[in-house]
């Protein structure tokens, strides 16, 4: 299965890459991530060109990583900088991937390195906004990334799949609108009235039992989704001014055709600096993503048995509009790269 390669993909939260090299597969490519002496992150192909040992199992020597088998060392640009058995020649090299840190995330470019322009890295403005405290996390999904996008662009599942995030006794209506805006596909959920949920009650002490909610998910290719949630006593159309705000980032990188790296971050503007709330928030989000979404996506993938979604002629509901728009854009981008 082809992937969109000419794009920046999340490779890992910056804080998660320490002194030890880490092996990770992106778009089917095996990569080793490590930090150079000045702290800059480096991404190289993980396979030594000599006898294909995993470089990630080797040791760092200054800015270079040494193969654990016969000791060739490769620098951040992928060139061999030390050959214990003779001269280091230009033919001794591994692929080096552009890697840039921004918004607490390492972004890797999986396409032609000559096209890697950091200006194209997704802007996560809420991550730079001092009003929010963040909890970052990671989830390994046994599912194709497009199934994860389908899941996130249709949050009507929350009511059925996530009891912690929704109140199943809530009968107030939700208005769902799906539209395209520039490079983004948007799903917007408007609830002038809804029951206060456990999550909201935990963050907002004075929340009345019935509140209002505005929620929005913005997808941009290939697989970055930025969600904003605003809770208040009465409906605000300007989400920036709602009383309780919970922005979320869902940043996906296909590992293989069947598996996905899912990096998530949850922000909050209330009870900042409260470690207990941060733990509860993590527990709630992980419970939903890991305990409820991931098993559902993995199960659906198994049930699809390798068939294409549209070949299976799914029943299409109005709430599917965003997911269908996003899939169409992905397939257009794939065609453009192939053509
Ligand atoms: S396999 Fe890496 S140096 Fe031989
Ligand atoms: Fe979900």
255 Cα–ligand 1 center, Å: 25
**Cα–Cα dist 149/335, whole Å:** 19
Report the nearest atom of ligand 1 relative to the CA of 67: 2
Q: How confident is the model at residue 1 (pLDDT cuts 50, 70, 90)?
A: low
Partners of 102 in the β-ladder: 105
Q: How many other C-beta atoms lie within 10 A of the C-beta of residue 169?
A: 6
State the pLDDT at residue 168.
80
Q: What is the DSSP letter of 142?
A: S
State the pLDDT at residue 149.
98
The predicted model gives 30-35 an average pLDDT of 98
Q: Which residue has the tokens 């006593």?
A: 233
Q: How confident is the model at residue 115 (pLDDT cuts 50, 70, 90)?
A: very high
Pocket test for ligand 1, best of 30, 46, 47, 51 (most atoms within 8 A of CB): 51
12 Cα–ligand 1 center, Å: 27
332 Cα–ligand 2 center, Å: 26
State the pLDDT at residue 63.
97
3-class SS string, 217-244: EEEECCCEEEEEEEEECCCCCCHHHCCE
Tell me the per-residue pLDDT of 201-252, one tens digit each, with 9 for 90 and over: 999 999 999 999 999 999 999 999 999 999 999 988 788 899 999 999 999 9
Q: How confident is the model at residue 298 (pLDDT cuts 50, 70, 90)?
A: very high
The encoded tokens of residue 6 equal 């000419």
- Say whether pLDDT at 137 is over 90: yes
- Asked if 1 contacts 257 with a C-beta cutoff of 8 angstroms, the reply is yes
Q: Which residues line ligand 1 (CB under 6 A)?
A: 48, 50-51, 53, 67, 69-72
CB-side neighbour CA atoms (13 Å) of 90: 0
Q: Residue 57 CA: which ligand is closest?
A: 1
Q: What is the DSSP letter of 79?
A: B
Q: What's the chain's average pLDDT?
A: 96
pTM of the model: 0.96
The encoded tokens of residue 235 equal 């409906």
Identify the structural domains of the chain with CATH numbers, from first to last.
8-120 (2.102.10.10), 131-338 (3.90.380.10)
Q: What is the DSSP letter of 92?
A: -
- Say whether pLDDT at 136 is over 80: yes
User: Percent of the chain, pLDDT > 90?
Assistant: 92
The predicted model gives 113-128 an average pLDDT of 96
Pocket test for ligand 1, best of 30, 45, 47, 50 (most atoms within 8 A of CB): 50
Q: Which residue has the tokens 């192939």?
A: 338
Q: What is the DSSP letter of 257?
A: S
Range list of H helices, 66-157: 145-153
Q: How confident is the model at residue 106 (pLDDT cuts 50, 70, 90)?
A: very high
**Cα–Cα dist 87/83, whole Å:** 6
State the pLDDT at residue 193.
96
Q: Whose CA is closest to atom 1 on ligand 1?
A: 51
Pocket test for ligand 1, best of 45, 48, 78, 92 (most atoms within 8 A of CB): 48
State the pLDDT at residue 166.
82
The predicted model gives 149-157 an average pLDDT of 97
Q: Where are the beta strands (DSSP E) in the chain?
A: 8-13, 22-26, 29-35, 41-45, 60-61, 64-66, 73-74, 80-82, 96-97, 99-102, 105-109, 133-141, 175-181, 184-195, 210-220, 224-232, 244-245, 248-254, 260-268
Residues with CB under 5 A from ligand 2 (ion): 293
């Amino acid at each position: 299965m082809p992937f969109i390669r000419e794009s920046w993909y999340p490779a890992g939260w910056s804080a998660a890459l320490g002194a030890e090299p880490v092996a990770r597969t992106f778009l089917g490519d095996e990569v080793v991530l490590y930090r150079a002496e000045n702290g800059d992150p480096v991404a190289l192909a993980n396979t030594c060109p000599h006898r294909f040992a995993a470089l990630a199992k080797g040791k760092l020597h200054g800015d270079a990583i040494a193969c654990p088998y016969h000791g060739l060392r490769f620098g951040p640009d992928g060139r061999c900088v030390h050959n214990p058995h003779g001269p280091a020649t230009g033919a001794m090299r591994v692929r080096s991937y552009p890697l840039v840190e921004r918004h607490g995330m390492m972004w890797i470019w999986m396409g032609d390195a000559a096209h890697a322009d950091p200006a194209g890295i997704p802007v996560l403005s809420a991550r730079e906004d001092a009003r929010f405290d963040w909890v970052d996390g990671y989830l390994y999904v046994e599912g194709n990334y497009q199934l994860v996008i389908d899941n996130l662009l249709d949050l009507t599942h929350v009511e059925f799949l996530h009891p912690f995030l929704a109140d199943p006794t809530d009968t107030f209506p939700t208005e769902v609108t799906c539209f395209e805006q520039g490079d983004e596909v948007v799903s917007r959920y408007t609830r002038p009235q809804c029951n206060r949920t456990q999550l909201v009650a935990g963050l907002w002490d004075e929340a009345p039992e019935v509140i209002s909610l505005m929620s929005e998910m913005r997808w941009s290719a290939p697989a970055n989704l930025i969600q904003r949630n605003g809770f208040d006593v009465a409906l605000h159309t300007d989400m920036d001014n709602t009383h309780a705000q919970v922005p979320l980032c869902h940043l996906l990188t296909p590992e293989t055709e069947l598996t996905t790296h899912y990096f998530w971050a949850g922000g909050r503007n209330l009870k900042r600096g409260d470690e207990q709330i941060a733990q509860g928030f993590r527990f709630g989000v992980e419970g939903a993503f890991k305990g409820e979404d991931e098993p559902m996506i993995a199960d659906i993938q198994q049930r699809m048995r390798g068939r294409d979604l549209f070949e299976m002629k799914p029943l299409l509901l109005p709430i599917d509009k965003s997911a269908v728009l996003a899939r169409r854009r992905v397939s257009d981008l794939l065609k453009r790269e192939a053509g």
